[in-house]
């Protein structure tokens, strides 16, 4: 009968989640927020349809593992190397400043220095699962602010291990230096082992599995790598989620990354949804109403404090104001790993039970609000971007001054230097058409400068940057960046600065055509549509259909 209880709970979760998410979707409530609300309804503090949260947490941890495994698959070790700046500099600034600010505020309210530091640990961590899911859903993983968020989140996950090791030291419990060094050494050994496996073991192992041509065996193997690595790192004292992330990086280094992603995607979506439901089960409306004053006060302090911290970090890193604001909004919540820190500290007296309960409530509410914040972030960033004084302070650079001095005329401005931007630059150069390149990806700019291109680091959504690029005298403006919200903002900024300029924008999906047209784009190239046309043309040609008929069909 025990097995049936587990099955019953699973059915309850799925049934309530389907009903709640479907209903709230019609009200335009984000899916993540809807799943958290569903958890509040069915949890022990709601209608008590499920009383044992632990059983759900086991399934939820698999969801987190699969989510981060999928993110790791999309990144690869090579791409992660290119994120060293947001990981090392951005992560250090965000975590360090968050702990420092929280420490001083907690001390003002009379908490001990040990408790103040520990609360700083809790506040410093953002929600990897929710933020990365939001980036993935909105297609912003490779956007400038997406890379900043990702780098900082990776650093935060790496910090969870030393934070947990510091708990017994802060609480005054016995913990020898040798024990701490042993734990750190074990964690480092696991990470090194994963890196070695990605180069030597896993690719060869997957070759053997793929040679059997048994898809079920391949899927099982991929899940084994994901869950097995996560379990191994968890047993070694490293967070389970970080282990799954490393496993994704391992598989991403092989030629099977795309097949692995397609096989895991359905599992990932189901189990990740259960994770968000499990988060909601930790909270009830009653808890909030009983302590509404302290909870709202802490919530406001956390959201404002973390927003300011990331904004300061972005300023130090010389990020454009819009990117810093988008990153700050996205990382303002308290994350799921903070629950782990609170749970680990239960046997100590670092924080009282009422304070721990309030912090859990604040974390869940902040996670619930994050999808809404991510939706509003582009508008907030656009509003802040119109503050000329701040833009002058943060966006002025020698590169932009160089553009101003060049006094370009009848040129084309290329926004973005990915593959499409590179191809366009090559074509314009071959035809003798003057052009200038601008991008927020420093690696792209470095690559362009190495090739002798007229390239500059800057934010194409900024009026001042566009003016320095001579947009009022430009022949055309082509936008080929991987940030849907920024594309729309750039179109509006360009149309305001130069009402008669021809604006061409690239987007991924047909759904983006209407908002980009309203923003002022003259021509919109849809990657989805172009791919469909190419496929249709090729297949009809293969079937020996006459060129005239092919032209009609495409």
Rounded to whole angstroms, how far apart are CA atoms 101 and 298?
A: 13
Burial of 219 (0-12, 13-18, 19+ CB in 10 A): middle
Edge to edge, what strands does the sheet with 476-479 contain? 455-457, 435-439, 412-415, 476-479, 502-507, 523-526
Cα angle vertex 21, ends 274, 282, to 5°?
45
Give me the DSSP letters along 493-547: HHHHH-TT-EEEEEES-GGGHHHHHHHT-SEEEEHHHHHHHHHHHHHHHHTT--H
Burial of 537 (0-12, 13-18, 19+ CB in 10 A): middle
Rounded to whole angstroms, how far apart are CA atoms 278 and 105?
A: 31
| Strand-strand pairing, 455-457 and 412-415 | unpaired
Beta bridge partners of 524: 505
Residue 392's alpha-carbon distances to 244, 313, 396, in angstroms, are 42, 18, 6
Cα 534 to chain center, whole Å?
A: 32
How many helices (H) and strands (E) would you count in the chain?
Answer: 27, 6
Cα 113 to chain center, whole Å?
A: 32
The pLDDT of residue 399 is 40
The listed CATH number (1.20.1530.20, 3.30.420.10, 3.40.50.11900, 3.40.1410.10) that belongs to domain 2-172+179-389: 1.20.1530.20
How many other CB atoms are found less than 10 A from the CB of residue 324? Answer: 25
Among the listed residues 312, 313, 311, the one whose alpha carbon sits nearest the alpha carbon of residue 155: 313
Rounded to whole angstroms, how far apart are CA atoms 371 and 317?
A: 26
Contact predicate 519/491, CB 8 Å = yes
Rounded to whole angstroms, how far apart are CA atoms 96 and 451?
A: 38
Rounded to whole angstroms, how far apart are CA atoms 476 and 435?
A: 9
Contact predicate 143/481, CB 8 Å = yes
- Hey, what CATH topology would domain 396-553 get? Rossmann fold (3.40.50)
Residue 521's alpha-carbon distances to 416, 460, 478, 495, 513, in angstroms, are 16, 14, 10, 8, 9
Cα 522 to chain center, whole Å?
A: 31
Beta bridge partners of 436: 413
Contact predicate 282/334, CB 8 Å = no
Contact predicate 122/342, CB 8 Å = yes
Q: What is the DSSP letter of 454?
A: -
Give me the DSSP letters along 193-253: HHHHIIIIIHHHHHHHHHHTT-HHHHHHHHHHHHHHHHHHHHHTTS-HHHHHHHHHHHHHT
Burial of 216 (0-12, 13-18, 19+ CB in 10 A): exposed
Among the listed residues 464, 548, 101, 145, the one whose alpha carbon sits nearest the alpha carbon of residue 329: 145
Q: Three-state DSSP class for 546? A: coil
The pLDDT of residue 256 is 82
Q: Where are the alpha helices (H) located in 27-90, listed in sequence order?
A: 31-42, 53-81, 84
Rounded to whole angstroms, how far apart are CA atoms 163 and 346?
A: 15
Rounded to whole angstroms, how far apart are CA atoms 196 and 186?
A: 15
Burial of 210 (0-12, 13-18, 19+ CB in 10 A): middle
Please give the average pLDDT of every successive group of 10 residues along the chain, which has 554 residues: 69 89 82 83 83 72 75 70 84 95 93 91 89 80 85 85 76 60 70 73 86 86 86 74 78 80 76 79 76 91 95 87 89 85 76 85 88 84 66 48 59 91 90 90 85 86 84 91 86 90 88 87 83 75 68 60
- Per-domain boundaries in the chain: 2-172+179-389, 396-553
The pLDDT of residue 329 is 92
**Residue 34, both tokens:** 């809807």
Cα 231 to chain center, whole Å?
A: 23
3-state secondary structure 387-444: CHHHHHHHHCCHHHHHHHHHCCCCCEEEECCCHHHHHHHHHHHHHCCCEEEEECCHHH
**Residue 67, both tokens:** 């989510």
Among the listed residues 186, 124, 29, the one whose alpha carbon sits nearest the alpha carbon of residue 116: 124
Euclidean distance between the first and the last CA atom of the chain, given in angstroms as a whole number: 59
């Amino acid at each position: 009968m025990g097995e049936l209880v587990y099955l019953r709970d699973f059915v309850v979760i799925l049934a309530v989640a389907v009903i709640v998410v479907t209903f709230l979707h019609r009200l335009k409530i984000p899916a993540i927020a809807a799943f958290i609300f569903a958890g509040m309804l069915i949890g022990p503090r709601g209608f008590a349809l499920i009383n044992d949260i632990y059983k759900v947490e086991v399934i939820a941890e698999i969801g987190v593992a699969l989510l981060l495994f999928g993110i790791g698959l999309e990144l690869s070790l090579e791409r992660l190397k290119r994120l060293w700046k947001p990981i090392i500099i951005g992560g250090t600034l965000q975590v360090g400043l968050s702990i420092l600010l929280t420490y001083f505020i907690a001390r003002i309210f009379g908490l001990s220095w040990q408790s103040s530091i520990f609360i700083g640990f809790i506040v410093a961590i953002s929600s990897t699962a929710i933020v990365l899911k939001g980036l993935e859903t909105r297609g912003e993983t490779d956007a400038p602010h997406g890379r900043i968020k990702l780098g900082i989140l990776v650093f935060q996950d790496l910090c969870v291990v030393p934070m947990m090791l510091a708990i017994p030291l802060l609480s005054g419990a016995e913990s020898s230096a040798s024990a701490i060094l042993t734990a750190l050494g074990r964690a480092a050994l696991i990470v090194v082992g994963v890196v070695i496996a990605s180069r030597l073991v896993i690719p060869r192992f997957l070759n053997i599995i793929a040679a059997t041509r048994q898809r079920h065996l391949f899927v099982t193997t991929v899940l084994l790598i994901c869950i097995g690595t996560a379990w191994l790192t968890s047993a070694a004292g490293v967070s389970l989620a970080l282990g799954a992330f490393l496993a994704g990086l391992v598989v991403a280094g092989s030629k099977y990354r795309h097949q692995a992603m397609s096989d895991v995607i359905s599992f990932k979506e189901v189990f990740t949804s259960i994770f968000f439901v499990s988060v909601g089960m930790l909270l009830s409306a009653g808890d909030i109403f009983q302590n509404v004053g302290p909870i709202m006060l802490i919530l406001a302090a956390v959201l404002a404090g973390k927003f300011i911290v990331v904004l300061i970090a972005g300023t130090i890193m010389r990020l454009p104001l819009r990117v810093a604001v988008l990153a700050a909004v996205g990382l303002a919540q308290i994350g799921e790993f903070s629950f782990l820190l609170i749970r680990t500290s239960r046997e100590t007296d670092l924080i009282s039970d009422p304070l721990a309960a309030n912090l859990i409530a604040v974390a869940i509410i902040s996670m619930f609000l994050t999808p809404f914040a991510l939706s509003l972030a582009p508008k907030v960033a656009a509003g802040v971007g119109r503050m000329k004084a701040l833009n002058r302070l943060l966006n002025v650079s020698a590169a932009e001054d160089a553009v101003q001095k060049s006094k370009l005329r009848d040129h084309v401005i290329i926004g973005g230097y990915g593959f499409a931007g590179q191809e366009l630059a090559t074509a314009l150069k071959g035809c003798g058409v003057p052009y200038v390149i601008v991008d927020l990806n420093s690696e792209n700019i470095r690559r362009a400068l190495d090739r002798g291109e007229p390239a500059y680091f800057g934010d194409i959504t900024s009026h001042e940057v566009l003016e320095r690029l001579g947009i009022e005298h430009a022949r055309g403006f082509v936008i080929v960046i991987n940030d849907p919200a920024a594309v729309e903002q750039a179109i509006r900024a360009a149309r305001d600065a130069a009402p008669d300029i021809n604006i061409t924008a690239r987007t991924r999906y047909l759904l983006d055509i209407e908002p980009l047209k309203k923003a002022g784009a003259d021509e919109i190239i849809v990657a989805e549509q172009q791919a469909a046309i190419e496929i249709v043309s090729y297949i009809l040609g293969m079937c020996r259909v006459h060129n005239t008929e092919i032209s009609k069909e495409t």
